[in-house]
Amino acid sequence: MRTVVAGATSPATAGAAGNANGEWPAEGRRIHSCVAKGSSMKPLIEVNQISFSYGQGPSQSVAAFTDVSLRVYPGEYVAVIGQNGSGKSTLAKHLNGILTPTRGDVWVAGMNTKDASCKQQIRRCVGMVFQSPDNQLVATIVEDDVAFGLENLGVPPGEMQERIDEALEAVGMSEYRHRPPHFLSGGQKQRVAIAGILAMRPDCLVLDEATSMLDSFGRAEILAVVRRLNQQGMAIVTITHHMSEVAEADRVLVMHEGRVALEGTPRELFAHPDQLEALGLDVPEASRVAQQVHARIPAFRRDAISVEEVVAEVDRLAGSGGERRHG
Amino acid sequence: MAGDFELTRNITIGQYLPTGSVIHRMDPRLKLLAAALWILSISLCHTYLGNVAGLCVCLALFALARIPLSYGLSGLKPAIPFILILAILQLLFYGNGYGPSGQVYFHWGILRITSASVRVVVVSTLRFVEIIFAVSVLTLSTSITELTHGVEGLLRPLGRMKVPVHAFALIVTIAVRFVPTFAMEMEKMMKAQASRGAEFGTGSWWNIARRTRDVFPLIIPLFNTALVRAEELALAMEARGYVPGQARTAYRRYRAGGRDIVMFLAGMALSAALVFAPFPF
Ligand SMILES: Nc1ncnc2c1ncn2[C@@H]1O[C@H](COP(=O)(O)OP(=O)(O)OP(=O)(O)O)[C@@H](O)[C@H]1O
Ligand SMILES: [Mg+2]
């Protein structure tokens, strides 16, 4: 795990910026993948030491964060955690150019989010799902809602049907396509919201506390969908307060008072509950159980972070214990 | 009393009832146009018989659309106080305002009930019911999406004159989309207020003043959440690439077929008959 020091990341975007216009036509409305798959070394999203303040004028501006750097590679699963008001949502809104940094730059697939002519491509490339299932559906019928983003992108009508079918299929909502959204459960609405993004065929999905208003069943539905998308190669950036969701990520970013305080794999992070606690955060239940059992039974690995891992560990110990007894 | 909180159940606007009938499948633009003509001719028809015939046609529309009549009646219920007040006022004062025409049935002070005022009362009440039925069939058989697309399609010529027809259609869609959401919100707030001792739904349904006063404590919080919702919705729309005024493509396209045109012509014929047929009384 590395404790991030401000200014640690070196900018490496000059090249990406140079070919931006060649690869991603500024006003072209044709939809194609922003990033050539295979060039996995090139980050999909590159956030370079950005700072952002709400409000104009130095007198009443509120600094949401300072000197934040982040890279998201194609197919990666990144979790962002932090206390309320630590700047997570503000950071998320920078990833698709809804907000642009006061200082520093955000590059999405080689496009600067400050470049107004790339806006549409950036929105297509990085989709975003918000917290409230009710406040992001615009249409009165599910499939029309999924079509909304496509209509905005100027996708030809002939192509829409296929993309809508595909998106609804991916979230398991095909049978609800003709229903009005207000008859759906929260988890179902949120899946429709995800479908609306998927239809745009993004390379990265940003979820800003997308599960926080759902019950545990709804949350499990969304997590399953997200996991599957990630396995199919979509990059995921998820903001969450649920530590059990964090355990699914490849990499975790901990925000604290507008800075990236910690960064590492979930396992690295959860190995130091005291550090997280200092930042007002928790470790998942499973991790806590593993650590407390480890304190009593040293053979039990202390770095289990999910229920499955704890169960596997119990099985392992029970199994080897049994062997010892027999042997 | 629990029933008084269940607002979502009582809202017919935007409550599409898909039955797949011929009315449902009609091209929304032609359906809208036919409905508008029909409503216009209802308001022009001033004979008893004509209005009874109009009512029969409206009832037949329910059958044709395979929508239970109870839906139409539930749409009628909230309008009853208005119909009654209007009827009473017309009954009492119409005979005066328009001079003593026809036979005078009753005369006391400024109150004068004549055969003309009775006709006005009966006809306007019938008209009201017919129009509510016609609108109910329209909204129950047409999803809001189709309705807005229909309006958009009909207004398209205005688009060439730089009238933001599409933006207007989107506003309507979103407004309607949020009607059930706000109804549920209001339900929640009413329950919350009721649990702290506020009284809702204890006034009778005809006691409009009382019921309106009951709603006051809900208005500010409702506005508040509406603004929050609007902000979040705008954000979500932006995240999905919406730019106001941009050229967009449309997922739904409508093409009026032969059957649509036949149905539209039938509607036109009925409307014309209602206005021009020589009903004897
Ligand atoms: N629209 C705004 N105008 C002014 N200040 C804002 C605005 N939105 C957020 N802030 C401020 O910016 C800071 C970061 O907010 P942000 O919403 O990004 O936090 P967060 O980590 O997402 O919190 P939460 O966990 O509650 O969602 C907070 O201090 C907040 O008060
Ligand atoms: Mg937030």
Q: Which residues contact A144 (CB under 8 A, 6 or more apart)?
A: B145, B251, B252
Is A237:A245 a contact under the CB 8 Å cutoff? no
What is the phi-psi region of residue A112: left when phi exceeds 0, alpha when psi lies from -120 to 50, beta otherwise?
A: beta
Per-domain residue ranges of chain A = 3-283, 285-320
Q: Distance between CA B146 and CA B253 in Å, rounded?
A: 10
Ligand 1: residue whose CA is nearest its atom 17: A89
Distance B91 CA to ligand 2 centre (A): 61
Specify the higher pLDDT residue, A188 or B147.
A188
- Partner-chain contact A147 B251, CB within 8 Å: yes
Q: What is the pLDDT of residues A229-286, one digit of tens each?
A: 999 999 999 999 988 889 889 999 999 988 899 999 999 888 888 888 888 888 888 8
A75 lines ligand 1 (CB under 6 A): no
Q: Does A117 touch chain B (CB under 8 A)?
A: no
Question: What is chain A's length?
Answer: 327
Q: Distance between CA A92 and CA A80 in Å, rounded?
A: 9
A196 lines ligand 1 (CB under 6 A): no
Closest Cβ–Cβ partner in A136, A139, A180 for B232: A136
- Partner-chain contact A140 B184, CB within 8 Å: no
Examine the pLDDT at B93 and tell me if it is beyond 60.
Answer: yes
Residue A14's pLDDT is what?
A: 37
CB contacts of A121 in chain B (<8 Å) are none
Strand partners, A52: A65
Q: What is the pLDDT of residues B115-133, one digit of tens each?
A: 788 888 899 999 999 999 9
Q: Does B250 touch chain A (CB under 8 A)?
A: yes
Q: Distance between CA B39 and CA B130 in Å, rounded?
A: 8
Q: Does B248 touch chain A (CB under 8 A)?
A: yes
Closest Cβ–Cβ partner in A132, A144, A193 for B145: A144
Residue among A129, A135, A206 with most chain B CBs within 10 A, to mutate: A135
Closest Cβ–Cβ partner in B14, B240, B250 for A140: B14
- Partner-chain contact B240 A197, CB within 8 Å: yes
Q: Does B123 touch chain A (CB under 8 A)?
A: no
Listed in sequence order, the DSSP H helices in A35-183 are: 88-95, 119-125, 142-153, 157-170
Examine the pLDDT at B76 and tell me if it is beyond 60.
Answer: yes
A89 lines ligand 1 (CB under 6 A): yes
Q: Distance between CA B95 and CA B116 in Å, rounded?
A: 7
Residue B97's pLDDT is what?
A: 62
ipTM of the complex: 0.78
Residue A22's pLDDT is what?
A: 34
Q: Does B243 touch chain A (CB under 8 A)?
A: yes
> Which ligand is in closest contact with the Cα of A80?
1
Q: What is the pLDDT of residues B207-256, one digit of tens each?
A: 777 777 777 778 888 888 889 888 999 999 999 999 887 888 888 877 88
Low-confidence ranges of chain A (pLDDT < 70): 1-41, 56-59, 320-327
Residue B100's pLDDT is what?
A: 56
Closest Cβ–Cβ partner in A130, A157, A178 for B251: A157
A84 lines ligand 1 (CB under 6 A): yes
Residue A35's pLDDT is what?
A: 38
Q: Does A302 touch chain B (CB under 8 A)?
A: no
Q: Does B9 touch chain A (CB under 8 A)?
A: no
Examine the pLDDT at B173 and tell me if it is beyond 90.
Answer: no
Q: How far is B33 from chain A (nearest CA, A)?
A: 22
Count residue pairs from A and B with Cβ separation < 8 A.
Answer: 107
Q: Which residues contact A74 (CB under 8 A, 6 or more apart)?
A: A35, A37, A40, A42, A44, A203, A233, A235
- Partner-chain contact A152 B170, CB within 8 Å: no
- Partner-chain contact B177 A140, CB within 8 Å: yes
Q: Is residue A325 exposed (0-12), middle (13-18) or buried (19+ Cβ within 10 Å)?
A: exposed
Q: Does A138 touch chain B (CB under 8 A)?
A: yes
Residue A50's pLDDT is what?
A: 92
Number of other CB atoms surrounding residue B208 within 10 Å: 14
Residue B205's pLDDT is what?
A: 65
Examine the pLDDT at B9 and tell me if it is beyond 60.
Answer: no
Specify the higher pLDDT residue, B39 or B146.
B39
Q: Distance between CA A154 and CA B247 in Å, rounded?
A: 7
Residue A20's pLDDT is what?
A: 36
Residue B101's pLDDT is what?
A: 65
Residue range A3-283 in CATH 3.10.20.90: no
- Partner-chain contact A151 B248, CB within 8 Å: yes
In Å, how far are A266, A276, A294, B138 from A302, measured between CA atoms?
13, 16, 5, 65
A82 lines ligand 1 (CB under 6 A): yes
Mutating to test ligand 1, I would choose from A52, A90, A91, A132 the residue with most ligand atoms within 8 A of its C-beta, which is: A90
Q: Which strand ranges, in their side-by-side order, compose the sheet holding A103-108?
A: A62-72, A45-54, A103-108, A111-112
Distance A118 CA to ligand 2 centre (A): 26
Distance A322 CA to ligand 2 centre (A): 49
